[in-house]
Structure 1
Amino acid sequence: MDIQQLRAFLTVAEEGRFGVAARRLSITQPALSKQIQAMERRVGSRLVTRDRQGAAVTEAGRTLLPDARDLVARADALDTRIGEMHRGVLGRLSVGFGLSSIDTAPRAVAAYRRRYPDVRVTLDDMSSDVQLGRLRAGALDVGFVREVGFVRETGDDALGWWEVGADRLALAARADDEPPADPHGLMLWAQAREWVALTRERGPGLAEQIDRFRESAGFGRFRPAQVANDLQTVLALVAAGAGVALVPASARTVASSAVRLVPVHDEAAAWRIGVACRRDNVPAVVTNFVRVALAVA
């Protein structure tokens, strides 16, 4: 059924005059009459009669009025939802984040949700390498990734990256320890202790950053006495006295008061974090999220 014809029929029924109905619909009276006639031909019966007093709905027309109102209302509701999706105020959004954006990503999502409450957002923890693969495959909408991983993995212009923050390595030790503050002395102090580490599979970017810093500073490979599959377990082991660990300084947001984090002030220990997404056919929900992420950075 033609929604335009249904709308014309409803407007004539509501206004009782073709002239008034035509003005309300912003069309001419002849055009309105043609729409009514086309609908009557399909029904096979007169729906509206017209005389000097105006237009009156026939018995057949009154039979169709409830369904016509329902269809037009639903069409209007659908059109509204389509418009909301086009503007990015309705829809779904998948966001990835890694260890270094454990503070930045949730803040961006919270700010985005306050502004666009009708968009359903999923936030999943994964490494930068995994995020970049999913972004390229179209399986992830937005990712918070390390600049190093982005530069290494992106050989074309398929993905865009915008800086939203920075992070650096920090030595995690027990709160009652007193490690030195200078990078060289700090690492000499740490090498005399047991090490706890996140598995390379779980945190490949962190492992690469540690290797980069170690090679730059001239330290040998750290051999952990204990490994764990998530950052919070690493911090819990440090708090329990199992050893020390190199973690992102941003881990302060999840570390307990039993853990002391000492930032490593060395150029090779620092990196930048950015929000990344595909450049082609970017839906409005993604564009809106990137804008919010940049605003709260």
Structure 2
Amino acid sequence: MNLRLLHAFVMLAEKENYADAADALAISQPALTKQINLLESLLNVALFSRGRQGTRLTTGGQLLLPEAKKVLKQNAVFLQHAAQVAKGGEGVIAAGFGLSGFIFAPQCIARFRAEYPGVEFRLEDLPSAQQYDMLHSGELQVGFVRVPPPAPLSYQVLFEDNLVLVAPEDNGLSLSDWLKKLPLLRLYAERGRGLNAQTDRFLEENRCFASSTQQAEDIQTIVALVIAGVGVALLPQSVTYIAPPGLKIIPLTGDGTRWQVGIAWDPQTTDPVRDNFVKMVTGYGHAVG
């Protein structure tokens, strides 16, 4: 059905005069007459009758007018929705984050949703290596990750995080002394690939060796084990976001303690919502960095 014909039908029903309706539609009266005749032919229904008091709806026209208005309204709503989608004002973003983005990622999402309330977010705590895979597969649109990510992912640096020593108490012992005294607590390889690599690099640069190690599934478990006096750990300074009372966080120095955190995405996919989010996040990151 040609929406232009329905629009002509509704306008003539409102104006009840061909000349007035033609003016409102910015077309000639013969063109309007042709459109009404065509619509009546397509529907096989007489829509209007002419009399002394002007152009009136027939019984058939009265029955069809509400439906015609409904179709035109639905079309307007659809076009409005399509415009929002096209400019990235509506959609869904699945985002990943790790401990380093524990505070920053939700802040960015809250800021973005205030401007784009039609965008739905799904946020999941994931290690950077898993986020890389999910960005490649399209399961995530963006990830707050260690950077640089593997090609062909694009990224923008947002801030730095760094290693700290987490111990049961701050008694002045050096890292080497702690590693002689207690096991080094680490994440399982599949869960903490990036953090483990950072830890190994730092230990090698500082010629520190762990006498024993113990693995855990997540950082929260490591924190609990440290508080219980089971071991010590090298964790991101962002652990302060989840640190309970009693956890001793001891600063470390050296180039091997630092790494960059950023936002990553797959540039091979077209996604206006994601692009708007990335633009906002990179601007916000520079503002707070």
Q: Distance in 1 between matches of 2:238 and 2:175?
A: 19
Q: Distance in 1 between matches of 2:207 and 2:7?
A: 77
RMSD (Å) for aligned C-alpha atoms = 2.1
Q: How do 1:115-126 and structure 2 match up within 5 A?
A: 115-126=115-126
Q: Name 2:8's counterpart in structure 1.
A: 8
Q: Name 1:236's counterpart in structure 2.
A: 224
Cα-to-partner distance string for 1:148-194 (whole Å, 9 max, x where unaligned)? 4x1xx21xxx32101111101111123x42346xxxxx322321332
Cα-to-partner distance string for 1:99-124 (whole Å, 9 max, x where unaligned)? 32222212212222222222110011
1:245 aligned residue (233, 236, 247): 233
Q: Name 1:183's counterpart in structure 2.
A: none
Give TM-score scaled by structure 2 length: 0.90
Q: Name 2:58's counterpart in structure 1.
A: 58
Structure 1 counterpart SS, 2:181 = coil
Q: Name 1:254's counterpart in structure 2.
A: 242
Residues 64 and 110 of structure 1: CA distance in aligned 2, closer, same or farther (over 3 Å): same
Residues 14 and 206 of structure 1: CA distance in aligned 2, closer, same or farther (over 3 Å): same
The one-letter code matched in structure 2 to 1:110 is: A
Q: Distance in 2 between matches of 1:222 and 1:294?
A: 42
Q: Does 1:177 align with 2:170?
A: yes
Where structure 1 has 5 or more consecutive residues not aligned to the other structure, the ranges are 181-185
Structure 1 residue 222 displacement after superposition: 6.2
| Identity among equivalent pairs (%) | 34
The one-letter code matched in structure 2 to 1:230 is: D
When the two structures are aligned, how many residues end up with a matched partner? 284
Structure 1 residue 50 displacement after superposition: 4.5
Structure 2 counterpart SS, 1:265 = coil
Q: Name 2:176's counterpart in structure 1.
A: 188
Q: Name 2:82's counterpart in structure 1.
A: 82
Q: How do 1:1-297 and structure 2 match up within 5 A?
A: 1-50=1-50, 54-148=54-148, 150=149, 153-154=150-151, 158-174=152-168, 176-179=169-172, 186-194=174-182, 195-221=184-210, 223-224=212-213, 226-297=214-285
Q: Distance in 2 between matches of 1:113 and 1:45?
A: 49
Cα-to-partner distance string for 1:110-139 (whole Å, 9 max, x where unaligned)? 222222222110011222222122212222
Residues 260 and 295 of structure 1: CA distance in aligned 2, closer, same or farther (over 3 Å): farther
Structure 1 counterpart SS, 2:121 = strand
Are the counterparts in 2 of residues 107 and 296 from structure 1 also a CA contact under 8 Å? no
Residues 232 and 45 of structure 1: CA distance in aligned 2, closer, same or farther (over 3 Å): same
Give TM-score scaled by structure 1 length: 0.88
Structure 1 residue 270 displacement after superposition: 0.5
Q: Distance in 1 between matches of 2:109 and 2:13?
A: 48
Where structure 2 has 5 or more consecutive residues not aligned to the other structure, the ranges are none
The one-letter code matched in structure 1 to 2:161 is: D
Are the counterparts in 1 of residues 100 and 161 from structure 2 also a CA contact under 8 Å? yes
Structure 1 residue 51 displacement after superposition: 6.0
Structure 2 counterpart SS, 1:192 = helix
Q: Distance in 1 between matches of 2:239 and 2:66?
A: 60
Residues 39 and 275 of structure 1: CA distance in aligned 2, closer, same or farther (over 3 Å): same
Structure 2 counterpart SS, 1:94 = strand
